[in-house]
């Protein structure tokens, strides 16, 4: 049963709807980022795509590790499905995109470092804050991520290794998975104060992603 909260001026909305609606403008900005539209439009060089993928490695090291640490948490644990883990897929992708010894050849940009550090700190200190970033990244990957993966496949001629990050092979229906995740968001026993803090943290996550896209755009050449 969805827990519903009366929000002034918005009627009664389940929390999952509030998260989506209240970050709609942030999402539109993320979709319109030059780096993202260059990737979708086939204008990003293969090296640029490799640099992007290397930034994801640092981000998902923090995300996957946070999930492993918090899986026993009574409130956020049920969201942390191990089928979401991206570490193995990213390792295969980087082997293809960067080549052997990739671990020693990739570096996090300052914006990536800041986001990964934030995620790791929250996993230690505030599980629901960690979940804000978990929602931002994994639900995004299961949605617009599909568009990015198809674009990369087309532009760089990659069929498997190189674009495994975008495939959640163990999750047959992204739609069902997201519906289940949204039900968990609606049912979690957070106070209104906590919900406000989570919303602010999702918005911060979008800004941190935006900063990474901007830095990436400056760091890589177009195709």
Q: Where do contacts with ligand HEM occur on this chain (CB under 6 A)?
A: 19-20, 27, 30-31, 36, 40, 135-136, 139-140, 143-144, 147, 178, 206, 209
| 139: Cα within 13 Å, side-chain hemisphere | 21
Question: Quick one: which of 150, 112, 134, 117 has its CA closest to 63?
Answer: 134
CA distance 116 to 110: 10
Looking at beta carbons only, is 102 or 181 nearer to ligand HEM? 181
* Residue 113 Cβ vs ligand HEM, minimum distance, rounded to whole Å: 17
Looking at beta carbons only, is 69 or 178 nearer to ligand HEM? 178
Distances from the Cα of 31 to the Cα of 38, 83, 115, 133, 140, angstroms: 11, 25, 18, 17, 11
Pair 109, 215: CB distance under 8 Å: yes
* Residue 209 Cβ vs ligand HEM, minimum distance, rounded to whole Å: 4
Closest CB to ligand HEM belongs to which residue? 144
Burial class (CB in 10 A: 0-12, 13-18, 19+), 43: middle
Distances from the Cα of 154 to the Cα of 46, 52, 56, 157, 174, angstroms: 12, 17, 20, 5, 21
Looking at beta carbons only, is 19 or 90 nearer to ligand HEM? 19
* Residue 139 Cβ vs ligand HEM, minimum distance, rounded to whole Å: 4
Looking at beta carbons only, is 139 or 158 nearer to ligand HEM? 139
CA angle 28, 29, 35 (to 5 degrees): 115
Looking at beta carbons only, is 30 or 102 nearer to ligand HEM? 30
CA distance 43 to 55: 19
- Helices 127-134 and 110-125: crossing angle, nearest 10°? 140
* Residue 182 Cβ vs ligand HEM, minimum distance, rounded to whole Å: 6
* Residue 105 Cβ vs ligand HEM, minimum distance, rounded to whole Å: 25
* Residue 102 Cβ vs ligand HEM, minimum distance, rounded to whole Å: 23
Looking at beta carbons only, is 40 or 158 nearer to ligand HEM? 40
């Amino acid at each position: 049963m969805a827990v519903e909260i009366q929000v002034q001026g918005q009627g009664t909305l389940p929390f999952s709807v509030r998260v989506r609606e209240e970050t709609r403008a942030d999402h539109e900005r993320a979709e319109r980022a030059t780096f993202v539209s260059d990737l979708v439009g086939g204008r990003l060089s293969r090296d640029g795509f490799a640099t992007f993928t290397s930034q994801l490695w640092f981000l998902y090291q923090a995300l996957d590790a946070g999930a492993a640490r918090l899986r026993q948490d009574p409130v956020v644990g049920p969201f942390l499905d191990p089928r979401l883990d991206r570490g193995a897929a990213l390792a295969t992708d980087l082997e293809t995109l960067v080549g052997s010894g990739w671990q020693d050849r990739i570096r996090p940009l300052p914006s990536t470092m800041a986001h990964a550090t934030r995620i790791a700190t929250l996993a230690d200190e505030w599980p629901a804050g960690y979940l804000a970033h978990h929602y931002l990244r994994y639900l995004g990957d299961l949605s617009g991520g599909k568009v990015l993966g198809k674009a990369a496949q087309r532009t760089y001629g990659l069929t498997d290794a190189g674009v495994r990050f975008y495939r959640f092979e163990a999750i047959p229906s992204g739609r069902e998975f997201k519906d289940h995740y949204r039900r968990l968001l609606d049912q979690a026993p957070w106070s209104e104060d906590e919900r406000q803090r989570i919303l602010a943290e999702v918005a911060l996550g979008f800004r941190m992603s935006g900063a990474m896209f901007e830095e990436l755009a400056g760091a890589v050449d177009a195709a």
